[in-house]
Structure 1
């Protein structure tokens, strides 16, 4: 008998699975893939047969981690003690409820017993984040300084978003993060919440400790890369480690800091809102109070979350993409509106035409066998970049059709396969 339940205490479901090891084996999780119970839980994870596993790049972990595919879905499985498996599972569910960037929890497997009767560690099961890579897999040979800077920027944004939600990470590092390409940048996702804590509001001490841990961990990771000859000679590990503190503090101040303005300078508030929107954050409301004895106002924005451009693009087109990708696609949509003289047309109608006349034709013109290398939004972003470079060289707009052919033949065929393992239905729009 295998028991399956939601961590918030909802009604439990009883699923009958084949007997494996002791009768106390439990699968605790939200209703999902029942085939999970057929995996060889009576075998230590490091000894699982190859036909059960999927070869995907893994980050550095203190625990054994493997990837398994069931019913067209890929799961990451981490062997860990029952106490920490249950705790991390609940924390990941809480982060999912808050729409924080983290991997999706699936189940906790407890009560495992080996064929020799000896108890085995529990297992935490999460959904593999499609098109994501550990930081070492982002590298192609030596990690270039600009790529490293973009990874650090993404990690700083992730840490700010987690802190805004009251989450103390306790082990922020490149190794505990997965990265997705996001236009010319990266989007970062928490992959290890083992040391995390969720509070109504994070304290200044917790924030400071998280930043210091990030600084120490990143410095150590870069020293490892340097020792392995994988760090560019111009990169100073200490300078890069200090960069995470600098980028974090700058972003945190922009989002949370009070601003004092003269009453006549209200346009500065509008500028602040636009800056926050450009950073990808929405402002839910403003708290304004008069500074005693002066004609000045103290303004504090209430930031709800990142995803300003994501939400707008999703509302207009139904495309669910990363924030910088959404910004790039919206810019192209705006250019389409101007080019087609649709300035006074309803934006939802313009978006529908842009999808039908630009986005889908461009993505669909890429050969099917190559389309799965990148997400459709990243593919379109790179097509736009390639078109710009070709047009600059030619001194005229070479058009999308020519750009697609050139991009496919000269760029895409040489790119690594970041989707890698999922069937076509999993990634096509």
Structure 2
């Protein structure tokens, strides 16, 4: 049997051919290896160099290796935080011609740590809470995508610092399964496994003296369940608002942003009692909103500005007759986006006199107007509309802002 390398990138096979595939992973020479901390695994795992890449190599049987490889590729297409699959190597033989187990090759996740390495010095309970939060968010993301993990645990997760918090990444998809949608029973099964696994892992740390004395392993295992259920409820519940209370929708979107999720789609169904708004959340990568807004509208903005403008665009599109199900234009968001720029964005920005704008660009002005509309609507307890917000902003906010800046300008002169 000849050595076979199935890879996602045509450049990788040439780099991987340099590695000693004729040796079991346990016998690989140090010259090929990278001394990085490894978590506990049922398989032999090694970190190695492949050109300029640092890769993780895991020995396992051919069928599960190929299956996990495809599942990781599916998760990558879905935008789920997981390790990046590079290749599966089969047909390995030792020096005597005896077969060796195939291997799954993934890219090392830079800056990440397995949980046991993080507990080499006693971790404070507050930091542990952030780890549980990160793992709960990962599990919710997987379930929203229809992925049943089958073995959620600290051992099968890598953690990376993320602006003072932690981001969790799936590192082992061997037991996973992808479905169009998960049932409540499938989600509960995953969640119960997570509770049992995490409590057991923390009990092991407690026995080794690596756990903070105030931490109860059982309580922390249960904590992920509470955090998960709160997230799932916020992300999937149907909200029913009275007519005219569209600022409630904005409040819901803000809560989702605070939880680290973005609203990629909204469906509004009109009824005699009010508006039923169903949010379908989608987790996106950094810079996504900038790229999406630029593609749809040609507006080049900062990320937070783009997120805010896209939310307004999405809300506006959902109120247009053209956006109704069954209409051909519903599948052409770029047409509606062009109309939004022409009929909403530009006229609104132009309503603000040039001499009052200061150094603010068009996207920042529109963002400020949306924020002011939100504030006034909250105070009035009904949606006051964009035109009213613009009038009040020009009359009451911009003059005060100029008065604040004038003394500084005179001192500079």
Please report the TM-score for the alignment, with normalisation by the length of structure 1. Answer: 0.67
Pair 1:303-2:263 in alignment: no
- How many angstroms does 1:85 deviate by? 0.4
Deviation readout 1:62-103 (Å, 9 max, x if unpaired): 000001112111010000000110000011111111111111
Q: Which residue of 2 aligns with 1:158?
A: 138
Q: Which residue of 2 aligns with 1:118?
A: 98
Name the SS for the 2:240 alignment partner.
strand
Contact map agreement 1:161 1:306 (CA 8 A) in 2:
no
Pair 1:205-2:185 in alignment: yes
- How many angstroms does 1:342 deviate by? 6.2
Pair 1:190-2:190 in alignment: no
Q: Which residue of 1 aligns with 2:378?
A: none
The CA distance in 1 between the partners of 2:168 and 2:118, in whole Å, is 12
Deviation readout 1:284-325 (Å, 9 max, x if unpaired): 33233356xx62433211212244x653477899xxxxxxxx
Number of positions where the alignment pairs a residue of Structure 1 with one of Structure 2: 304
Name the SS for the 2:17 alignment partner.
helix
Contact map agreement 1:32 1:106 (CA 8 A) in 2:
no
Q: Which residue of 1 aligns with 2:361?
A: 345
Deviation readout 1:26-74 (Å, 9 max, x if unpaired): 1111213312112111111011111110100111100000011121110
- How many angstroms does 1:116 deviate by? 2.6
The CA distance in 2 between the partners of 1:190 and 1:184, in whole Å, is 20
Greater share of residues in helix? 2
- How many angstroms does 1:278 deviate by? 2.1
Deviation readout 1:335-389 (Å, 9 max, x if unpaired): xxxxxx96522559xxxxxxxxxxxxxxxxxxxxxxxxxxxxxxxxxxxxxxxxx
Name the SS for the 1:38 alignment partner.
coil
Pair 1:237-2:230 in alignment: no
Q: Which residue of 2 aligns with 1:219?
A: 199
Pair 1:99-2:76 in alignment: no
Pair 1:269-2:252 in alignment: no
Map 1:30-429; keep pairs closer than 5 Å: 30=8, 31-33=10-12, 34-290=14-270, 295-307=273-285, 310-312=287-289, 344-346=360-362
The CA distance in 2 between the partners of 1:219 and 1:187, in whole Å, is 20
- How many angstroms does 1:201 deviate by? 1.4
Contact map agreement 1:159 1:248 (CA 8 A) in 2:
yes
- How many angstroms does 1:282 deviate by? 1.9
Structure 1 unaligned blocks of 5 or more: 1-22, 318-325, 331-340, 349-429
The CA distance in 1 between the partners of 2:60 and 2:358, in whole Å, is 57
The CA distance in 2 between the partners of 1:306 and 1:250, in whole Å, is 20
The CA distance in 1 between the partners of 2:30 and 2:68, in whole Å, is 27
Q: Which residue of 1 aligns with 2:345?
A: none
Please report the TM-score for the alignment, with normalisation by the length of structure 2. Answer: 0.69
The CA distance in 2 between the partners of 1:306 and 1:215, in whole Å, is 27
The CA distance in 2 between the partners of 1:25 and 1:215, in whole Å, is 41
- How many angstroms does 1:265 deviate by? 2.9
The CA distance in 1 between the partners of 2:284 and 2:136, in whole Å, is 13
Pair 1:27-2:5 in alignment: yes
The CA distance in 2 between the partners of 1:71 and 1:52, in whole Å, is 11
The CA distance in 2 between the partners of 1:42 and 1:63, in whole Å, is 18
The CA distance in 2 between the partners of 1:152 and 1:314, in whole Å, is 31
Aligned-pair RMSD on alpha carbons?
2.4
Contact map agreement 2:79 2:284 (CA 8 A) in 1:
no
